Amino acid sequence: MHKFLTALTALTLLVFPAKAKADYFVWQDPETGLTMSFPDTWAVVSNHEDNDLVTIMPPSGREHASCRVRANEDKRYLIYPPRFSSAIQRVDFSLGFWSDYLQEYTNPEIYNIQNGAGFGRGFASYATAGYESMVQGPYMRRKALMFVSLYDDDAYVIECSAHEESFASWKSIFLSIAGSVNFQQVDHIPAAGYYRNFLGDAKIHFEDLDGNHVASY
């Protein structure tokens, strides 16, 4: 009987295999190449502003949690090599940036700012703030965590928020989603690129028509 039940169980698993379930969904922006992963129970919803790349929300509830990624073209620093990225972040993407960014909301209040964080492939500023808003939900007092990073010619922002009273319960998943964001690589990682040691090559001598030495390279 035991052998019969074992065989029957194996046959049942073959005929009715367990349904595979993906825990996370990977989203990619077709224009910028930015990628982000989030729980497969969350859904992409309509963007609120023209510069929003994607807005996502978990199943409906009174906490009205949401995350959105935004991008604004910023070509001011294209002349500088990547090694200045950290300094650029501290100068133009810190307190002043967040103070201006939050002006679109009512009664904004910045709780914390941290420089030298990471977001995507860039140096980032991390901030937590409170404000009153009706973005992807009813008008309410919300709390948000946010990152901004300048990479190539775009300033990317992720903003994840929820009802102020329930923010703490969402913070871990918000940080997980923010940490999954990646930018399409455009900069060489080595500071000098992928060059061979051409300085060790033999010199090339150039002469004029009379055979006189002119220059060596």
Q: What CATH number is given to the structural domain containing 113?
A: 3.40.1000.10
CB 28 within 8 A of CB 37: no
Instruction: Name the amino acid, one letter, at 79.
Output: I
How many DSSP H helices and E strands does the chain contain?
4, 11
By C-alpha distance, which of 94, 96, 101 is closest to 49?
Answer: 101
E-strand ranges in the chain read: 24-28, 35-39, 43-45, 52-57, 66-73, 106-119, 122-133, 140-151, 154-163, 205-207, 213-216
Query: Quick one: what percent of the chain has pLDDT higher than 70?
Result: 74
Band (185; pLDDT cuts 50, 70, 90): confident
- Pairwise pLDDT comparison (215 vs 171), residue with the higher score: 171
| Per-residue pLDDT, 11 | 37
CB 38 within 8 A of CB 177: yes
Mean pLDDT, residues 169-186 taken together: 92
Query: What are residue 91's phi and psi, to 5 degrees?
Result: -80, -50
- Whether 12 is in a domain gets the answer no
By C-alpha distance, which of 24, 23, 21, 31 is closest to 54?
Answer: 31
Any idea which residue has 């609120």 for tokens?
48
pLDDT of 210 > 80? The answer is no
By C-alpha distance, which of 156, 78, 80 is closest to 124?
Answer: 156
Beta bridge partners of 156: 71, 149
- Whether 4 is in a domain gets the answer no
| Per-residue pLDDT, 82 | 82
Mean pLDDT, residues 163-184 taken together: 94
Phi-psi region of 172 (alpha: psi -120 to 50; beta: other; left: phi over 0): alpha
- Whether 57 is in a domain gets the answer yes
Q: What's the chain's average pLDDT?
A: 82
| Per-residue pLDDT, 79 | 87
By C-alpha distance, which of 149, 154, 89 is closest to 120?
Answer: 149
Query: What are residue 207's phi and psi, to 5 degrees?
Result: -125, 155
Instruction: Name the amino acid, one letter, at 11.
Output: L
Chain segment 156-173, per-residue pLDDT in tens: 999 999 999 999 999 999
CA-CA distance, 127 to 8, in Å (whole number)?
58
- Whether 199 is in a domain gets the answer no
DSSP element (H, E) containing 89:
helix 85-92
How deeply is 100 buried, as exposed, middle or buried, from its count of CB atoms within 10 A (0-12, 13-18, 19+)?
exposed
| Per-residue pLDDT, 215 | 60
| Per-residue pLDDT, 2 | 41
Domain hosting residue 85, numbered range:
48-180
- Whether 194 is in a domain gets the answer no
Mean pLDDT, residues 6-19 taken together: 39
Name which of 69-73, 150-154, 159-163, 198-202 the model is least confident about. 198-202
Tokens of 5: 């039940």
Band (200; pLDDT cuts 50, 70, 90): low
- Whether 200 is in a domain gets the answer no
Domains identified in the chain, total number? 1
- Whether 31 is in a domain gets the answer no
- Whether 19 is in a domain gets the answer no
